[in-house]
């Protein structure tokens, strides 16, 4: 308003000067035409344009192995197997720039959703980390999907989870008396006391109550390093070996009431519930779950980022794994002496790595067991059956019983991530159940469902805000324990309690039997309130205009955290109501699609309306002053922190 008064004052002065000058003119100087006074103007902000509302949204939150967001100095990139129907948050086509972020979160909209829904498989990569992949699905009734994906550092000496990793120059792997060199035409040269180099990663002894095991990779003299096109690398690559233990010991030792928040199994690339190629060779896939003996990620990458894919005709590398003796075998098949492992396996209980034993009875692995070997293509996020291995007595265990691990060794002719896995088909495609609190009311406490056994773990978290029911797709068909975590504590009122009366796990032989059943918790539900929230565009360039414009509501992805925990994802169409725990403080993350970044605002669980402001550079036009102020006289705010309410 002050600017308008200033312009009117200047106009009055100008008119006064004009009148004074006209009074000094002689009759001869007078002109019949009176000059037009200048028209006063003002700069007026034009309302910003909102994005179009789309059919749905997907969000991928990227964290490290302990569930912590990556540092803002790390750029993460996402690649989709298919981008059909995917758009940016503002409704534009995806570009390379919109598929990378330094904020650890990707969010996209879906322009239309088919009647039977649509799924998006993706791979996330980041410099200094191993790739991981996942799949998100949306439907007309559930049009918001979110997932948390965990990345493992390429170098990890010590951590809270049973994962170890290291990256080394090949020359550094040469032992005393051995020399290593590389020539693109002849490959790796290892001369001296040994004709091979080895990089081994083992779980430290201080984690013996949680996990045991190791993985080693041996590369022989004469090995070539060829990229995916069969071209030799021009310089020697660095080798990364990461070993993910299956925590079978922890699962065997853990009490019924205990609960593990972070596990190495949570970070297994590709997960343990999946679809694989049909053993009959058809185009259809079969769905089920892996029980793992351990996972080893191997990468050979030169300084230019070129990856080794194969080793030249007739060449292979050796991958040896020490497997926890407490690992579960859900498809027991023992190899008789003298039999070829592949021939016998395919005729007696397996087809392309998939268990065909009728009504298998799970037990712990034993020497002589057949263990299928699978590879994981880290660049496309797909699993492929490779071969069969045999479980043997640990080479350092002459007494057959002293050591806690068995050995499985395989030779591989191409590079990938490798996993020892039993794959069992699912017994039902999905099942649903209700979750009740201690008062037999629908549960509203934030909870996470854990399914696990010795070599399998699946963490199921709702990001919709509804914790009163769950639908489990592609459930494992082998026996598992079921736990429900709230604030890191198991709160499932299982079939029995421990000596102190604490909650216990529920042991289930067939999860499909839980369909339409109730799971009861030992805790009461918190009070839930509905909070109205508006996402809106506000003009940030206030110094450029005299008259502002009202904020404009706009659709955008929003998600909520409590502390460091990602708890709920929402697609705001401009205004929405979100159910929050009364009195709890949340951090709302909302997407600024104009600058392709995330803004944050603290919100409290109450019924007070809140706004999440997206600062926007508004167009400014010059308009004549025709009386009054010509606008609203306000900008509607400029900050990115919003109003918590």
Instruction: Quick: pLDDT tens for 340-360.
Output: 999 999 999 999 999 999 999
CATH number at residue 579: 2.60.40.10
Q: Is 2 helix (H, G, I), strand (E, B) or coil?
A: helix
Residue 628: per-residue pLDDT: 52
Beta bridge partners of 65: none
Average pLDDT, the chain: 89
Residue 7: per-residue pLDDT: 41
Residue 638: per-residue pLDDT: 42
Beta bridge partners of 422: 291
Pull the structure tokens for residue 545. Answer: 């205009």
Tell me the C-alpha distance between 87 and 95, whole Å: 10
The last residue of one of the domains, among 396, 425, 454, is 425
Residue 127 lies inside a defined structural domain of this protein: no
Residue 149 lies inside a defined structural domain of this protein: no
User: Above pLDDT 70, what percent of the chain?
Assistant: 90
Q: Is the pLDDT of residue 40 over 70?
A: yes
Residue 495 lies inside a defined structural domain of this protein: no
Model confidence pLDDT, tens digit, residues 365-389: 999 999 999 999 999 999 999 999 9
Model confidence pLDDT, tens digit, residues 195-221: 999 999 999 999 999 999 999 999 999
- Among 267-276, 292-301, 332-341, 436-445, the minimum mean pLDDT is found in 267-276
Rg of the chain taking only CA atoms, in angstroms: 32
Structural domain of residue 255, as residue ranges? 198-425
Question: Could you tell me which residue, 639 or 445, shows the higher pLDDT?
Answer: 445
Question: What residue has token string 């699993």?
Answer: 383
Q: Is 427 helix (H, G, I), strand (E, B) or coil?
A: coil
How many other β-carbons are positioned within 10 Å of the β-carbon of residue 95?
Answer: 9
List, in order, residues 6 or more apart from 338 with CB less than 8 Å away.
none
Q: Is the pLDDT of residue 116 over 70?
A: yes
Residue 546 lies inside a defined structural domain of this protein: yes
Q: Are strands 620-624 and 556-562 parallel, antiparallel or unpaired?
A: unpaired
Residue 555: per-residue pLDDT: 98
Tell me the C-alpha distance between 446 and 435, whole Å: 11
**Cα–chain-centroid distance for residue 434?**
26
Tell me the C-alpha distance between 418 and 298, whole Å: 8
Predicted confidence band of residue 277 (pLDDT cuts 50, 70, 90): confident
Distances (CA, A) of 232 to 310, 312, 438, 471: 10, 9, 64, 49
Same structural domain, 418 and 549 = no
pTM summary value:
0.86
Residue 325 lies inside a defined structural domain of this protein: yes
Residue 572 lies inside a defined structural domain of this protein: yes
Q: Is the pLDDT of residue 544 over 90?
A: yes
**Among the listed residues 349, 394, 388, the one whose alpha carbon sits nearest the alpha carbon of residue 367:** 394
Residue 459 lies inside a defined structural domain of this protein: no
Residue 363: per-residue pLDDT: 96
Q: How many domains does the chain have?
A: 3
Q: Is 607 helix (H, G, I), strand (E, B) or coil?
A: coil
Residue 22: per-residue pLDDT: 45
Phi, psi angles (nearest 5°) of residue 514: -80, -5
Predicted confidence band of residue 28 (pLDDT cuts 50, 70, 90): low
Residue 631: per-residue pLDDT: 45
Question: Could you tell me which residue, 136 or 502, shows the higher pLDDT?
Answer: 136
Q: Is the pLDDT of residue 627 over 90?
A: no
The last residue of one of the domains, among 377, 402, 425, is 425
**Among the listed residues 215, 401, 237, 239, the one whose alpha carbon sits nearest the alpha carbon of residue 323:** 215
Residue 52 lies inside a defined structural domain of this protein: no
Residue 234: per-residue pLDDT: 94
Predicted confidence band of residue 504 (pLDDT cuts 50, 70, 90): confident
Residue 288: per-residue pLDDT: 92
Q: Is 297 helix (H, G, I), strand (E, B) or coil?
A: strand
**Among the listed residues 371, 388, 383, the one whose alpha carbon sits nearest the alpha carbon of residue 324:** 371
Same structural domain, 401 and 532 = no
Q: Are the C-beta atoms of 560 and 598 separated by less than 8 Å?
A: no
Return the DSSP state at 18.
Answer: H
Q: Is the pLDDT of residue 13 over 60?
A: no
């Amino acid at each position: 308003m002050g600017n308008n008064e200033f312009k009117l004052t200047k106009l009055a002065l100008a008119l006064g000067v004009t009148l004074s000058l006209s009074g000094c003119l002689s009759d001869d100087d007078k002109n019949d035409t009176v000059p037009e006074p200048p028209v006063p103007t003002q700069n007026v902000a034009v309302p910003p344009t909102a994005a179009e509302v789309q059919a749905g949204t997907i969000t991928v939150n990227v964290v490290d192995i302990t569930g912590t967001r990556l540092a803002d100095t790390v750029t993460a990139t996402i690649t989709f197997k298919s981008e059909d129907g995917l758009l940016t948050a503002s409704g534009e086509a995806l570009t390379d720039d919109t598929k990378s972020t330094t904020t650890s979160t990707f969010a996209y909209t879906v322009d239309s959703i088919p009647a039977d829904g649509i799924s998006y498989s993706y791979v996330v990569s980041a410099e200094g980390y191993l790739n991981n992949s996942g799949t998100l699905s949306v439907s007309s009734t559930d049009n918001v999907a979110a997932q948390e994906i965990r990345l493992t550092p390429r170098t990890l000496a010590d951590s809270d989870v049973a994962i170890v990793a290291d990256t080394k120059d090949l020359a550094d792997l040469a032992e005393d008396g051995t020399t290593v060199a590389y020539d693109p035409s002849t490959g790796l040269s290892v001369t001296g006391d040994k004709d091979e180099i080895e990089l081994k990663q083992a779980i430290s002894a201080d984690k013996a109550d949680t996990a045991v095991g190791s993985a080693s990779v041996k590369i022989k003299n004469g090995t070539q390093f060829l990229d995916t096109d069969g071209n030799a690398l021009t310089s020697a690559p660095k080798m990364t070996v990461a070993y993910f233990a299956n925590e079978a010991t922890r699962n065997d030792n853990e009490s019924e009431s205990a609960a593990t928040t972070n596990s190495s199994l949570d970070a297994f690339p590709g997960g343990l519930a999946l679809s694989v190629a049909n053993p009959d060779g058809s185009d259809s896939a079969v769905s089920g779950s892996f029980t793992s003996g351990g996972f080893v990620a191997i990468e050979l990458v030169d300084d230019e980022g070129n990856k080794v894919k194969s080793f030249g005709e007739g060449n292979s590398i050796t991958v040896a794994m020490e497997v926890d003796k407490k690992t579960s075998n859900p498809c027991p098949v023992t190899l008789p002496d003298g039999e070829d492992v592949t021939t016998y396996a395919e005729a007696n209980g397996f087809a392309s790595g998939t268990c065909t034993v009728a009504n298998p009875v799970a037990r712990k692995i034993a020497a002589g067991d057949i263990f299928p070997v699978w590879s994981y293509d880290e660049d496309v996020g797909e699993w492929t059956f490779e071969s069969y291995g045999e479980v043997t007595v640990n080479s350092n265990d002459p007494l057959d019983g002293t050591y806690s691990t068995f050995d499985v060794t395989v030779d591989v002719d191409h590079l990938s991530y490798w996993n020892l896995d039993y794959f069992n088909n699912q017994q039902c495609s999905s099942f649903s159940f209700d979750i009740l609190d201690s008062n037999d009311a629908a549960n509203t406490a934030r909870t996470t469902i854990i399914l696990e056994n010795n070599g399998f773990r699946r963490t199921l978290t709702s990001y919709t805000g509804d914790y009163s029911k769950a639908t489990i797709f592609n459930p494992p068909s082998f026996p598992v324990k079921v736990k429900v975590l709230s604030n890191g504590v198991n709160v499932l009122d299982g079939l029995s309690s421990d000596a102190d009366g604490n909650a216990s796990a529920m042991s289930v032989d067939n999860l499909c039997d839980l369909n339409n059943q109730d799971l009861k918790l030992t805790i009461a539900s918190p009070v839930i309130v509905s909070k109205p929230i508006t996402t809106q565009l506000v003009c940030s360039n206030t110094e450029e205009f005299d008259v502002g414009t009202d904020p404009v509501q706009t659709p955008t992805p929003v998600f909520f955290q409590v502390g460091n925990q990602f708890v709920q994802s929402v697609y705001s169409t401009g205004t929405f109501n979100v159910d929050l725990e009364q009195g709890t403080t949340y951090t709302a993350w909302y997407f600024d699609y104009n600058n392709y970044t995330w803004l944050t605002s603290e919100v409290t669980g109450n019924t007070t309306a809140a706004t999440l402001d997206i600062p926007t550079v508004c167009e400014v036009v010059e308009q004549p002053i025709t009386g009054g102020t010509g606008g609203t006289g306000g900008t509607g705010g400029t900050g990115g922190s919003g109003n918590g309410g």
